[in-house]
Structure 1
Amino acid sequence: MQKEILVVDDQAGIRLLLNDILDSEGYSVSLASTGKEAIDRLQKDSYDLIILDYKLPIIDGKEVLNILEKEKNEIPVIVMSGMTENIITEIEKIKMVKKIIAKPFNIKDFCIQVGEILL
């Protein structure tokens, strides 16, 4: 069965890059450009992994994580940020966060990390 991944990033280029990478790895990918769009999608569909940009318009990544935590959602999350050292202490206690990845990232390493989480 194909694993379902939700990619949430406000930058179209990053969304498309991640879509292409993950699709080529055999995953089914859905895209969201805002935290609100991600929450809406999560209420309708189920996913095996969320790849979440931390800095998003309207509802940011931290708020998305807070909403998921309140709903007792246990989907694993990879958080991406350009400033990982600033957010690690804010979100490291959230157990659904499996990895925090700094942008820009190494595509090969990224694919390995996704694969490890989805085993």
Structure 2
Amino acid sequence: MGKKEILVVDDQPGIRMLLTEIFTSQGYRVTTAETGQEALDSLYAGSFDLLMLHYKLPVVDGVQVLEQLEKDQFTIPAIVMSGLSEDIMKESQQFEIVKEVLAKPFNVEEVCEFTRSILE
């Protein structure tokens, strides 16, 4: 079985770099995107096992990405990240693919735990 693929979507380069480092060290393959539109392009072009999605993105935001994926019946599990986790928790519960909501700044151990539990 090949390595699990994770798509990390965040408009902050530091977060993308941190998550790439964490996931690569855990043995996952990582692709990154800066905007919601880039995320959608990647998702339609490739196949991923997990989506790490920042809620507030430029161009196409996280909610629009989730809406589009549900509309097209994607079943990729998603972890949503946000600085405003309370509001997001309520909003994101309407999406079946959202498995977890992480508040920023997040705990690296927690991220690894959630990722492992979703991918294994």
Do residues 16 (structure 1) and 5 (structure 2) align?
Answer: no
Task: Give 5+ residue unaligned stretches, structure 2.
Answer: none
Code of the aligned partner of 2:87: N
Match of 1:3 in 2: 4
> How many residue pairs were aligned?
119
Pairwise CA distance, 1:48: 0.2
Matched, 1:56 2:57: yes
TM-score (norm 1): 0.98
State, as a whole percentage, how many aligned pairs show the same letter. 51
For residue 107 of structure 1, what is the aligned residue in structure 2? 108
Partner amino acid, structure 2, of 1:18: L
Match of residue 37 from structure 1: 38
Cα RMSD (Å) of the superposition?
A: 0.5
Cross-structure match for 2:68: 67
Residue 69 of structure 1 aligns to a residue whose secondary structure is helix
Question: How far 1:89 sits from its partner (Å)?
Answer: 1.4
Letter aligned with residue 4 of structure 1: E
Matched residue SS, 2:18: helix
TM-superposed deviation, 1:90 = 1.2
What secondary structure sits across from 2:81 in the alignment? strand
Output the CA distance in 1 between the equivalents of 2:35 and 2:75.
20
Q: Which runs of 5+ in 1 are unaligned?
A: none
Q: Which runs of 4+ in 1 moved over 3 A?
A: none
1:47-99: per-residue Cα shift (whole Å, max 9, x none)?
Answer: 00000000000000000000000000000000000000011111112110000
Bigger drift between 90-99 and 26-35 goes to 90-99
| Counterpart-to-counterpart distance in 1, 2:94 and 2:37 | 23
- Partner secondary structure for residue 115 of structure 1: helix
Matched with 1:84 is 85
> Alpha-carbon deviation of 1:28?
0.1
